[in-house]
Chain A
Amino acid sequence: MPKFEYAPAPESRSIVSLRESYGLFINGEFGPSVDGRAFKTISPATEEVLAEVTEAGPADVDRAVTAARKAYEHTWSAMPGRERAKYLFRIARIVQERGRELAVLESLDNGKPIRESRDVDIPLVAAHFFYYAGWADKLEYAGYGPAPRPLGVAGQVIPWNFPLLMLAWKIAPALACGNTVVLKPAETTPLTALAFAEICQQADLPPGVVNIVTGAGETGRALVEHPGIDKVAFTGSTEVGKQIARACAPTRKKVTLELGGKAANVVFEDAPVDQAVEGIVNGIFFNQGHVCCAGSRLLVQESVYDEVLASLRRRLATLRLGDPLDKNTDVGAINSAAQLAKIRELSEVGEAEGAQRWSPPCELPVKGFWFPPTIFTGVSQAHRIAREEIFGPVLSVLTFRTPAEAVEKANNTPYGLSAGVWTEKGSLILWMASRLRAGVVWANTFNKFDPTSPFGGYKESGYGREGGRHGLEAYLDV
């Protein structure tokens, strides 16, 4: 199959003006830390230092929570919903206005292809604020009683895979319901959250309603365990999610957790193969597989195994890996050296346990963190690559004969975030959808997101839902 040569088509990074260093955003302004220190954030594609960022200490977190409390009591919870709504609409509009800049910044700091940050992440950020803005003055119609109350101050900790989008998922519903927030972005991707702080300033959002404290795990712990917060919202690993659930056990804090996954993507023999292969590729190689709901376990019906695998291999050979800012890039950089090490380790385990590893011919850049799209065949349910979340561009392929066996294998995991089904038979789709123990089921599609669509897991993928009317519950006293 001929591979078309593409000329480089890099998106200009001149649209982004980075500061040399960033303070913490507390009570409406950027300021220095009182007990923290500085760390650097790099571009994972080149290892170039992008900026110096502040690691907030416990005293900084305390200041942020105090500012949020004051804003909650004196300003935000007392403000009519229709006025809160207008601030959120303003934010949505500014995100749209600065969309290209935010997309470039996201791709720089995270390593994801500009095509994805420009066409998926940032538009969804704006859409999310737009959606929840409209709820702010309609909460009495949401089904949570005649006058649902906010919780107070929310402590929010988000991951590095969709930095600004996860911020939007956290902040938009929290503010719409009348809460104020202290948010900690991931240590490897703080820059769009800091740009968002500027957006709050441009929107004239009252000081203290949104506070951004950058830092790593210790900063997150200080925030989650702070006695002054009423609500904890976390997206990240199941391991940390369990620690948070434990830490909050003796408190009255309301907790929502959106954690890991090991989604099955089930392809039946009557599925249109080309569409299914596109869905498989989108399911696991979108965002380098740094997706909690990634379709990382492919379950193919035995009768079409050879056909699907041949087509999948062909398709993988056409994926372009490289410069995240190039508009033709399909697969960007792995977000960090640590994540790359984890992906490598589990892939080596996959080989050691007897699965067959395959990647298309793929030249990796010399600098930065890269991993080629990878398929493992001959995988059994007992293999670690079939059980553990790899969070990278690695697909484990298993087979099944009957729908019942597909359900059995798909559900054979402590996770339950998402699943995919590919078949032309409508009754089979609904039969599968009702039996898959997962919070999102994509039928003949995969990895679709929308602010109106509830998202969240069963079992050890966490609890609570984000998005839609259901997403309000996490930020209301119900």
Chain B
Amino acid sequence: MSDMADSDRGGLGGSSPRASTASARIAVRKTYKLYIGGAFPRSESGRSYVVTDQKDRFLANAALASRKDARDAVTAARKAFGGWSAATAYNRGQVLYRVAELLEGRRAQFVAEVRAAEGLGARQGEAVVDAAIDRWVWYAGWADKLAQVRGSANPVAGPYFNFSLPEPTGVVAVIAPQASSLLGFVSVVAPAVVSGNTVVAVASERSPLPAVSLSEVLATSDVPGGVINVLTGRTEEIAPWLASHMDVNAIDLSGATSPLADDLAAAAAENLKRVVKPGDEDWTLAPGLGRMLTYLETKTVWHPASN
């Protein structure tokens, strides 16, 4: 992958004519797969699709996920929810921070991939990857603060001890932003998992490769399998299955445009998913609390205080 740092060559290693001369080493290409339940399967459908750079040069064949893949990913996410949501906030914070550590170590690779995917210059590419790493760090720190910022002791008018705490809502489906392949992806996934939700994310359709590489980082960090699942393919094909899935509790529609986004929001009503509607977001800006709050339920507990 290191040859991708040279964006003038375009494409992935081995595709340029120069690489075919007798003395040059032929690069070992990567197969871009799905990430479901901690494993890297191809699409069960056996399909793939061509991913190109911004100048339409071939980058790779990515897995074209099917309805079955989406459902498998939801099953994996549900299975992982119990453990992840019961992990201590301190633990979840460390796991998210670990993702940032590993990303930092592979910074050059991600700069190259994001540049190839989004057609960015060197400095822009570096800025985007740095922002993505910093975003993990920012969210990591939230894990053990949410309950204090979002919880409360409630002074009820009676002899009761009463408190409210935030809890994760469950399985969150994320239609990741289309244009921002890495920073956008991180910005919609991290706010869901930090509080104990598990995620099925559909990567940018046009530029899925940085998200797939991120899933390789997730697999080698301490994120338990199934907590974050990554699908690649056609947004229009996969998203409706997630929006209508009865075991998905929330959906972020960032990567969907109208009228698809409206249809997805309507389908999400069937089991009253919590919905983040697509907005005109600048992913380089400070995120605020909105996304994290959408995926939090408030639980209030009463107990008599008497002798």
Contact = CB atoms under 8 A, between A and B. Distances in A.
Interface of A: 127, 143, 238, 241-243, 245-246, 249-250, 252, 257, 259, 414, 416, 429, 433, 438-445, 448, 450, 452-456, 458-460, 462-463, 465, 468-470, 473, 478
Given A143-B149, A448-B160, A440 B302 contact: yes
Contacts of B274: 463
Interface in B221-272: 249, 258, 262, 265-266, 268-272
Interface residues of B, number: 37
B298 A470 contact: yes
Given A416-B297, A440-B300, 4 more contacts: A242-B270, A440-B301, A445-B302, A454-B298
Interface of B: 149-150, 152, 154-158, 160, 162, 164, 169-170, 249, 258, 262, 265-266, 268-272, 274-275, 277, 289-290, 293, 297-304
B259 to A, nearest CB: 8
Nearest to B152: A469
Contacts of B290: 478
B244 to A, nearest CB: 12
For the complex of A and B, 7 pairs with smallest distance between CB atoms: A245-B269, A249-B265, A450-B156, A250-B262, A249-B266, A246-B269, A452-B154
Contacts of B299: 433, 438-441, 458
Contacts of B289: 478
A250 B150 CA distance: 29
A242 B272 contact: yes
Given A450-B157, A452-B156, A470-B152, A459 B301 contact: no
B127 to A, nearest CB: 27
Nearest to A438: B299
Nearest to B246: A414
A473 B266 CA distance: 23
Contact of B300 (A242, A246, A441, A444): A441
Contact of A460 (B155, B266, B271): B271
Residue from the set B265, B270, B272 with the largest chain A CB neighbour count within 10 Å:
B272
B300 A459 contact: no
A252 B261 CA distance: 12
A365 to B, nearest CB: 34
B304 A445 contact: yes
Nearest to B149: A143
A324 B133 CA distance: 64
Among A249, A441, A443, the most chain B Cβ lie within 10 Å of the Cβ of: A249
Contact of A441 (B258, B293, B301): B301
Contact of A450 (B149, B150, B158): B158
Contact of A442 (B149, B268, B270, B302): B302
Contacts of A259: 272
A468 B300 CA distance: 11
Given A242-B272, A249-B266, A250-B262, A468 B303 contact: no
A450 B154 contact: yes
Given A441-B299, A441-B302, A454-B298, A241 B272 contact: yes
A71 to B, nearest CB: 28
A13 B266 CA distance: 47
Contact of B303 (A246, A444, A469, A470): A444
A243 B266 CA distance: 9
A459 B302 contact: no
A454 B164 contact: yes
A470 B297 CA distance: 11
16 contacts: A243-B269, A245-B269, A429-B303, A442-B301, A443-B303, A445-B302, A445-B304, A448-B156, A450-B157, A452-B155, A452-B162, A458-B297, A459-B170, A460-B272, A470-B152, A478-B290
A414 B271 contact: yes
Contacts of B149: 143
A442 to B, nearest CB: 5
A364 to B, nearest CB: 34
A433 B301 contact: yes
